[in-house]
Amino acid sequence: MQQRLPSLYRQPILFAHRGASAHAQENTSDAFRLALKLGATGLETDCWVTKDLQVVIDHDGFVKRRVPIRFRKTKIADVNANELDDQIPNFVELLEISSPITPVSVDICDPSAMTLIDKLVSDTNSKQDIYICHPDIELLSSWKKAFPFFKYVNSIRLSKIYEGPERRCANLAKNGIDVLNMHHTDWNGGLVALAHRFNVAAFSWDLQHSEQIVSALLMGVDAVYSDWPDRMSDASRRVFDTA
């Protein structure tokens, strides 16, 4: 096995994408718990805000509601939390499952969630690292100033970085953004080293096969995201047990 390039983190985070979504219904409490049992060291999800201002866990922000003779998709923002299916957890449930030290990666789909999440984290006295993900640097920078407790992640494709990766990493560092998160096909060892030169962590998503995960860990990424927590765990053992 090739030599592993250095990462910023002592041990890269293994984020279970929407929980153990390859094995269980995604974004459910069961999926998150199963992910931890299968070896994930972090949990990933998306969050939305209900009509009555509750932060809940879901991917696309829609639920199916029965109308007289059929089901209709309705925005979560137009529904109260107590009207949602029991399978949709709220943010506090996710914190309880991941407590006390499991990192959580959250795609903020509704910007109004940030103030609510900050209060929930404060009220629950949560201690784990919470990574706030969004493609907009200006929005991330404003959140960094308002809510410094969290870690911030610029999630984007390389093709969308119009100023180039070096300038992007410099901008992230300047604005206190902790992480550049790109699709695994966008990363190579040189780009990982570039991010690290600016003290910006390199996160890699959509790694579904063991060899992809091993390759990413060998190039020094600081976190990987997969639907398969068992494959991440096995790949991590392959890399670190032979290091």
Band of pLDDT at residue 188, cut at 50, 70 and 90 = very high
Token pair belonging to 207: 């790694």
What pLDDT does residue 61 have? Answer: 86
Q: What is the pLDDT of residues 65-115, one digit of tens each?
A: 655 555 678 999 999 999 898 889 999 999 999 989 999 999 999 999 999
Q: How much is the pTM? A: 0.94
What pLDDT does residue 55 have? Answer: 97
If we measure between CA atoms, which residue out of 20, 43, 15 comes closest to residue 224?
A: 15
Is 69 or 119 the better-scoring residue by pLDDT?
Answer: 119
Q: Does 63 have pLDDT greater than 90?
A: no
Which strand (E) or helix (H) includes residue 138? helix 137-146
Band of pLDDT at residue 60, cut at 50, 70 and 90 = confident
User: Distance from CA of residue 64 to its chain's centroid?
Assistant: 25
Q: What is the pLDDT of residues 189-237, one digit of tens each?
A: 999 999 999 999 999 999 999 999 999 999 999 999 999 999 999 999 9
Token pair belonging to 167: 């300038």
Confirm if 44 and 14 have CB atoms less than 8 A apart.
Answer: no
Q: Domain residue spans in the chain?
A: 13-60+87-240
Angle at which helix 210-218 crosses helix 229-240, to 10 degrees, equals 40
Confirm if 198 and 174 have CB atoms less than 8 A apart.
Answer: no
Q: 165, exposed or middle or buried, with CB in 10 Å at 0-12, 13-18, 19+?
A: middle
CATH match for 13-60+87-240 among 3.40.50.11890, 3.10.20.90, 2.40.40.20, 3.20.20.190 = 3.20.20.190
Cβ neighbours of residue 217 under 8 Å, at least 6 residues apart? 4, 12, 224, 235, 236, 239, 240
What pLDDT does residue 18 have? Answer: 97
- The end-to-end CA distance of the chain, in Å, is 9
What pLDDT does residue 155 have? Answer: 98
What pLDDT does residue 68 have? Answer: 55
